[in-house]
């Protein structure tokens, strides 16, 4: 089993750090990378091979995952909106991918159950409508997890202080899926 881990946005935030919390300075690219490295550690510890790539070039990300013949693809992100009241976790999969939906269900359940985030549900990305590029351009079951809202005060604290717990939940979701 080989899992491709894609922490969202650009390394070191250049040119795109993703969402940022203006009050605390917490950046999505940093949270995603830290959580991604921890997921990699936990999966490796149970004998699952991983490849981790953080890049702002989504074509590169998908090409690498496809060329490496990964079995699963996990993209890690933080959500953000103008309203400071939006909160919770949501996990996306690609339309038509039964295995992607199963993986999304497993990871969503682990995060919500173990971190107590609001369950915003498992959502389907539809190509040419709301198709998230990395989900519609990879050849293996793929999910994109929005851990929590970096723009919400309580969720931001979880993202800042509970990165290990997020990573453990994602890794447990992968082993549940297997």
CA distance 6 to 172: 17
Q: What is the pLDDT of residue 162?
A: 98
Q: What is the pLDDT of residue 131?
A: 76
Domain boundaries, the chain: 2-177
* The model scores a pTM over 0.85: yes
Q: What is the pLDDT of residue 33?
A: 98
Q: What class, spelled out in words, does domain 2-177 have in CATH?
A: alpha beta
Does the N-terminal peptide bond of residue 70 adopt cis geometry, omega within 30 degrees of 0?
A: no
Q: What is the pLDDT of residue 129?
A: 80
Does the N-terminal peptide bond of residue 44 adopt cis geometry, omega within 30 degrees of 0?
A: no
List per-residue pLDDT tens for the chain, 178 residues long: 999 999 999 999 999 999 999 999 999 999 999 999 999 999 999 999 999 999 999 999 999 999 999 999 999 999 999 999 999 999 999 999 999 999 999 999 999 999 999 999 999 999 878 779 999 999 999 999 999 999 999 999 999 999 999 999 999 999 999 9
Q: What is the pLDDT of residue 130?
A: 78
């Amino acid at each position: 089993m080989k899992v491709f881990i894609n922490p969202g946005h650009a390394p070191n935030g250049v040119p795109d750090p993703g969402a940022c919390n203006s009050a605390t300075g917490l950046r999505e690219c940093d949270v995603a990378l830290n959580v991604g490295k921890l997921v990699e550690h936990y999966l490796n510890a149970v004998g699952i091979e991983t490849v981790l790539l953080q890049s702002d070039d989504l074509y590169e990300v998908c090409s690498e995952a496809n060329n490496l013949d990964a079995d699963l693809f996990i993209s890690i992100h933080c959500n953000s909106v103008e309203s400071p009241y939006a909160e919770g976790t949501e996990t996306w999969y690609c339309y038509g991918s039964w295995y992607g939906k199963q993986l999304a269900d497993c990871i969503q359940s682990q995060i919500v159950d173990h971190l107590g985030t609001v369950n915003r549900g498992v959502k389907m990305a539809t190509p040419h409508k709301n198709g998230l590029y990395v989900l519609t351009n990879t050849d293996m079951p793929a999910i994109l997890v929005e851990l929590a809202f970096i723009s919400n005060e309580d969720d931001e604290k979880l993202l800042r202080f509970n990165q290990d717990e997020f990573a453990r939940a994602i890794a447990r979701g992968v082993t549940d899926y297997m």
